[in-house]
Structure 1
């Protein structure tokens, strides 16, 4: 599976889990954000881990 798109839906609680799991894709200025230009293919495993670990399940990918 090649991840082509990653986004965060409304409802982020700014817990920082995604950034700690996958810092090359997610950052936390206020709420979680996907880093522009992040290499999804190289970080596929940690993107999936971050999405599965998100306590409010707002990290989506396809």
Structure 2
């Protein structure tokens, strides 16, 4: 399953802090992006659970 960040992202950087190997901020710093959409790292699930906007999903 692929990791996707929806338009609900509020750029809080929680996912980046939780799982920096998979998530980073875009060049403008106003949206998180996924560097590795196929990642199976445990921290991805933690990032999904801690996202206050519930903007990280698996598709």
Unaligned runs of 5+ in 2: none
What's the Cα RMSD here?
Answer: 1.3
The structure that is strand-richer by fraction is 2
Give the alignment's TM-score, normalised by structure 2: 0.83
Partner of 2:39: 40
Unaligned runs of 5+ in 1: none
Give the alignment's TM-score, normalised by structure 1: 0.79
> How do 1:19-38 residues align onto structure 2 when only pairs under 5 Å count?
19-29=16-26, 30=29, 31-35=31-35, 38=36
